[in-house]
Amino acid sequence: MGREATTMKRSSKPIKSYSKTIRAYSLKLDEETYAKLDQLFVSYGKCRNMFLNQYCGINHMLNVKQYFSLRNHLVKTKQGNIYVEKYHFLQKHWKYALRDACANINSMWSNLANQLRKVVQANDSIDKDERHLIYYLLSIRELWYYALTNDQAVLLDLSQKLQKHLTELEEAVTPKQRKHAYSYLRRLTRRYKYTPRKHYSLNKAMTYDENMYHFQGDELEQVTISSGVSRKKFTFDLTSPWHYRLKGDLQLILDRDKKRIEIHKVIKVRQKQDYQADTKLGIDKGLATLVSCSSGREYGKDFSQFTRPKIEQESQYLARRNPYYGYRYQLKKKLNRLKNANTPKQIIKKKQLASQLNKLNANNIGYKRKDKRHASYHACLESKINHAIKALIVTEHPSLIVKEDLTFTKDKANKTGNKYERQVRRSLSSWTKGVLNERLEYYCQQYGIDFKDVNPAYTSQYCPNCGQHFSVRFGKHNEKTLCPNCGEMDCNIAASKNILARATDKEITLYTPYKKVKAILDQRIAS
């Protein structure tokens, strides 16, 4: 009886997991196989971008939610046969291109809804009830579509509960406010929504389901995938055996530099079971020091000493490269004007410009070498970021990490140095904070740590102890500050303490405008 009770107790505890992407690599492909794969990936990319541009508009907001209905409609109307002839691949390829495009468009609408919520929240001229109505319209795709198109048929397909709730919210505002809310939502949507692409880039990724591939060999060291021709397949030798499930979707990446195939698969992994969490932690993210904690400790110190040589190197590269790119742009512009040259003088001028352009292109001013150097350097920086985050978790044992939401924060570059150096510093700072935030959330999922985003406005400008405004900033990286009451302190540590306090601050929410945040903080000093 006791053993059965213990078993029941263990089985009742939910097993938490998180998503992780695993990778496998093929050996270098021969020239013939690589050429066929390159053609297949380019055709797939053209088809996917065609679907992306075709269905990204407001009129197809609801169609992309029902991928199977959209696919069946194209099959029924025999539109798929046109895609097969146009892009020279099989029926299943355009179907998966359509699925990828629908997934991207759905993500685009979800991200747009989050962006519009922040814009609406920052608008002080909107009434509380009117703001609530806009939030409700954004929360349901059908209602959002109704607000944009005024299509009454969409409301009839909704449940009675949703219709009743919408009616209650509309009755809570005046007719003028209701008209303004719908008009304001339409204007915001058209201003920020995705616009179709006029050009496409060479596609590197394709989605394959379990019917389009299989692993083989004694230790599963080979993979066979479908090609663009019926009853013909590609077989690749892998650099290591495949140890994971043989079912589910795969993402195939064509590495055109190394001429090989990368296999990506998303799997579920259990969280760390032996992790003991006991503290709540506020953190401030930066570039000179990666993470400053409310406990007083800092991780990733002197991170900028690794980035400084990169900034100087890239600024020199940009200074040398940009004149050549400007000259090439002018040559192409002049050639385009002489596209329909018919007089002898124009033909001679066109040949001269073409000769100059060929000589310039022969100097190899492309991006391949620069991109490889970027990838290598960013991999090194990402390794240092991972090391700093792991050290933070092992030392602090946080149960909750409170961090700033820097999604729409503009990075200000120091005006010292040349313009190319400022551009590189701004770009590298944005990249570092984005990767740092992404890796933080990944490790929080791995260890079962909760995380929360708070408003970043003025966190490093007010004292966490007495609330006074800091008077001056000094130090090598402006990391030191002076409080009129508490004296000298580290402003990054002070910011992390303010960030932790923001987690329970009912007046300053995530979407509170920065001007209102400053007014609230100044009022607290006066009181």
Q: Which of 349, 369, 389 is the last residue of a domain?
A: 369
Cα separation, 321 vs 314, in Å, equals: 10
Among 26, 25, 22, 24, which residue's Cα sits nearest to residue 236?
Answer: 26
Residues 26 and 71 reside in one and the same domain: yes
Residues 80 and 205 reside in one and the same domain: yes
Task: Quote the tokens at residue 346.
Answer: 């124009």
Residues 153 and 171 reside in one and the same domain: yes
Residues 351 and 238 reside in one and the same domain: no
**518 falls within a domain:** yes
**296 falls within a domain:** no
Residues 102 and 21 reside in one and the same domain: yes
Q: Which of 270, 298, 321 is the last residue of a domain?
A: 270
Residues 48 and 148 reside in one and the same domain: no
**423 falls within a domain:** no
**226 falls within a domain:** yes
Range of the domain at 352: 307-369
**129 falls within a domain:** yes
| Per-residue confidence (pLDDT) for residue 421, from 0 to 100 | 59
**5 falls within a domain:** no
| Per-residue confidence (pLDDT) for residue 515, from 0 to 100 | 86
Under a CB-based contact definition with an 8 Å cutoff, are residues 252 and 225 in contact? Answer: yes
Residues 234 and 354 reside in one and the same domain: no
Q: Which of 141, 166, 192 is the last residue of a domain?
A: 192
| Per-residue confidence (pLDDT) for residue 199, from 0 to 100 | 58
- Total domain count, the chain: 4
The Cα diameter of the chain in Å comes to: 102
Distance separating the N- and C-terminal Cα atoms of the chain: 64
Residues 202 and 330 reside in one and the same domain: no
| Per-residue confidence (pLDDT) for residue 411, from 0 to 100 | 44
Residues 87 and 227 reside in one and the same domain: yes
pLDDT digits (tens, 9 = 90+) for 141-181: 999 999 999 888 888 888 889 889 999 999 999 999 999 99
Q: What pTM did the predictor assign?
A: 0.76
pLDDT digits (tens, 9 = 90+) for 171-226: 999 999 999 999 999 999 999 988 876 655 668 889 898 888 999 888 889 999 98
Cα separation, 412 vs 406, in Å, equals: 13
Q: What is the DSSP string of 268-324?
A: EEEPPSS----EEEEEEE-SSSSEEETTS-EESTTTHHHHHHHHHHHHHHHHHHHHH
| Per-residue confidence (pLDDT) for residue 392, from 0 to 100 | 93
Cα separation, 402 vs 186, in Å, equals: 34
Length of the chain: 527
**422 falls within a domain:** no
Please give the average pLDDT of every successive group of 10 residues along the chain, which has 527 residues: 41 69 92 92 91 91 92 92 91 92 93 90 85 93 92 86 91 92 94 75 83 88 88 90 89 90 91 85 88 92 79 74 81 85 85 85 67 80 91 92 73 51 65 84 90 90 89 82 88 92 89 86 85
Residues 348 and 497 reside in one and the same domain: no
Residues 38 and 102 reside in one and the same domain: yes
Residues 99 and 165 reside in one and the same domain: no
